[in-house]
Amino acid sequence: MRLIIFLVIYAGIVYAKQVPIVINTWAFTDSTQAAWNLLKRGGDAIDAVEIGCMTCEKLQCDGTVGFGGSPDENGETTLDALLFDGTTMNMGAVGALRRVKDVISVAKHVLINTGHSIVVGSQATEFAKRMGFTEEDLTTDRSKKIWTDWKNNRCQPNAWLAVLPDSNTTCGPYRPVQENDVYYNHWTHNYPHRRTREHFQRHSFSTNNHDTIGMIAIDANGKIVAGTSTNGMSHKIPGRVGDSPIPGAGGYADSKFGAASATGDGDIMMRFLPSFLAVEELRRGSTPSQAAWTAINRIKEYYPSFFGGIIVVNKQGEYGAACNGMDSFPFSVASQANEKVTVKRVTCK
């Protein structure tokens, strides 16, 4: 009996030590700190993830979060974000948001002020304006230069496949290849198709040019929230929405079990709902590290060289991560156990 009482108290102490906790993708430590400052004062996990992602948006983390990054084919920056509440299983997300900087906060308004889950494009701009946000140009000198250099490089790389004129050498405008085009079969089923996708992936995804902040917070009440914010990928076809605002892909949470958030080649990753899969694995009894590797390995079965990483936390505040297509994947953590924001790294297999 005494042993049982001891174990219960011990388990309670361990639990209390790990949560609250905040963890986010990459070494975006200012964001971790901002979220932690709020969590340690007893703040709500939704507000913590909002302020954490907002910090990255303002700092333009790595140029891949917030305004002035990843210009699309027209030179415009558009933004994706998600807030997923694992207690109510309610969410708010925004895809391809134009001309408004504060995308995570707009996602919060979708969560709180609407019965919808995702709002996109120009109409998301109108929604944001109604919620009190300012419309402004998201272009900077930096994003203008990325776009001009790309144009001067015959629009390479780009995301077009099986089109004419050849998207490997020209800027378009393109049309789909048709059956009466010479080499139709070759274009649609063979080498150029694969080569173009791999070429685009290789040139578009690396730790230097492509990141999302994915953040998970568990507050003192045990509420678990996942969120993301990104400007997506450079040279995307206008209208492209990545994995970040898609529930189960960019992020997912269930306060009964834990949460996950992913970053990387969203066009591929969203097809496998890696965040959902990881949380399902927690439900089935996996550790966070096992759950993270299961999600990554599922994608790897089909796309062995894809670029991406995932962070996973269980409701006790234990965490793990997994990755592919880079040497190692950094993530940042602050918790009751260690209040100092620390950058950890998982080696990709």
Q: How far apart are CA 162 and CA 187, in angstroms?
A: 6
The first and second tokens of residue 219, run together, are 């507050």
Nearest approach in angstroms of CB 82 to ligand ASP is 11
**Nearer Cβ to ligand ASP (87/117):** 117
Q: Which of 18, 29, 230, 275 binds ligand ASP (CB under 6 A)?
A: 230
Q: How far apart are CA 106 and CA 162, in angstroms?
A: 36
Segment interacting with ligand ASP, rule: CB under 6 A, options 109-117, 158-166, 257-265, 319-327? 257-265
Name the DSSP letter for residue 236. P
| Cβ pair 125, 57 in contact under 8 A | no
The answer to the question of residue 245 lying near ligand ASP (CB under 6 A) is: no
Q: Which of 143, 212, 255, 286 binds ligand ASP (CB under 6 A)?
A: 212
Nearest approach in angstroms of CB 212 to ligand ASP is 3
| Cβ pair 96, 240 in contact under 8 A | yes
Pairing mode, strands 258-264 and 251-254: antiparallel
Which residue bears the tokens 């936390």?
313
Segment interacting with ligand ASP, rule: CB under 6 A, options 136-144, 149-157, 207-215, 219-227? 207-215
The answer to the question of residue 242 lying near ligand ASP (CB under 6 A) is: yes
**Nearer Cβ to ligand ASP (20/264):** 264
Q: How far apart are CA 311 and CA 273, in angstroms?
A: 14
The answer to the question of residue 85 lying near ligand ASP (CB under 6 A) is: no
E strand or H helix that includes residue 86: none
The answer to the question of residue 232 lying near ligand ASP (CB under 6 A) is: yes
Q: Which of 244, 255, 286, 332 binds ligand ASP (CB under 6 A)?
A: 244
Q: Which of 261, 263, 324, 335 binds ligand ASP (CB under 6 A)?
A: 263
Nearest approach in angstroms of CB 307 to ligand ASP is 8
Q: How far apart are CA 342 and CA 349, in angstroms?
A: 22
Nearest approach in angstroms of CB 65 to ligand ASP is 9
Three-state SS letters, 172-208: CCCEECCCCCCCHHHHHHCHHHHHHHHHHHHHHCCCC
- Secondary structure of residue 244 in the 3-state scheme: coil
Q: Which residues are catalytic?
A: 212
The answer to the question of residue 243 lying near ligand ASP (CB under 6 A) is: yes
List of residues contacting ligand ASP (CB under 6 A): 210-212, 230, 232-233, 242-244, 263-266
